[in-house]
Amino acid sequence: MKILIADDSRVMRQIVIRTLRQAGYDDHDIVEAEDGADALAKVGSEQPDLILSDWNMPNMSGIECLQALRASGSAVPFGFVTSEGSAEMREKAADAGALFLIAKPFTADTFTEHLDGVIA
Amino acid sequence: MTTTDTGQRRRSSDHRPLIPSLIDEATVLSIAEEAWLALVGEDEVLVPLSVELPVDIMSSWVDVVGPWTGSVVLTTGRCTAEALSRALLRESAPEVLEIEDVEDAFGEIANVVGGNVKAALTGPSSLSLPQVGNAPVVRNPADVCRVDVVWRGEPVSISVQGALPPLPVLRPTPQNPLRENEVPL
């Protein structure tokens, strides 16, 4: 399985990768994107099976990336990993077609809770 | 009859809450502790204690814009910011940290703490991208919720501070012209 991780923070991308391993998802290909526009381009070139994306990023936000993907007909599974976990944002994420929203800070248990059944 | 708009009506109806009525120090501390445990390490504790910050400090912050507008600012010594960055990067930390690594890691802690502070406030708000540098000036001491902690023996301050009133706009005058490269606030 190929997982695309989109976050403008390199450190946070490392933390997400580390947490995936701690949660037991350590046998997957990882592709990194540094903002929503980069993620959108890499969906085309890398064909990921799952996207884990920050919300607030320069150039193109995570929600704009998700909306662009769905508008183009892509149904690639998409989840947010973001510091903003209000009810309003969770609703907005779900309405746009996100499978889940993991709020930072997170633990390996949080990842397991949301990703079991999504990651084969 | 000609009337003059003094702004009095707008000001009296434009009542904005001050941060101590929206969030308390215990909540800010709890948010910071959770961020430290998840990001910095499971054994990393914050001790609520006010210790004077060193001279060479660094701040990272995010701005919150909504019914309450202000910044969530983390300030610590430059060396402590580097130690925090190493803790976040763990095994992927390079031997010599670049300033970009420190800005990224320290900014991300402010992002996580700020995002959770924002979630604890009422009403829809937006959050800026994290910034690193000299902290925004405290505008109104009554619109501040500050928590001082010690991490690994070093002081860290977390300040949730309002952005109002705005700083006065500098206008060049013959007596006080703007210097070259000076940007009006």
Per-residue pLDDT tens over the stretch A87-114: 889 999 999 999 999 999 999 999 999 9
Query: Does residue B176 carry a pLDDT above 70?
Result: no
Cβ neighbours around B18 below 10 Å, total: 15
Cβ neighbours around B177 below 10 Å, total: 9
Structure tokens at B133: 């540098």
pLDDT value for B167: 64
Question: What pTM does this model have?
Answer: 0.87
Query: Does residue B84 carry a pLDDT above 50?
Result: yes
- What count of CB pairs under 8 Å joins A to B? 63
pLDDT value for B93: 86
| Residue type present at position B10 | R
Q: How far is CA B121 from the centre of its chain?
A: 15
Q: Which of these ranges, A8-12, B120-124, B180-184, has the smallest mean pLDDT?
A: B180-184
Question: In B123-177, which residue ranges form alpha helices assigned H by DSSP?
Answer: none
Per-residue pLDDT tens over the stretch B42-65: 899 999 999 999 999 999 999 999
Domains of chain A: 2-106 (3.40.50.2300)
Query: Does residue B10 carry a pLDDT above 60?
Result: no
Helix (H, G, I), strand (E, B) or coil at A72: coil
- Among B34, B92, B111, whose Cβ lies nearest the Cβ of A14? B92
Q: Which CATH superfamily is domain B17-161 in?
A: CheC-like (3.40.1550.10)
Query: Does residue B1 carry a pLDDT above 80?
Result: no
Among chain A residues, CA nearest to B124: A88
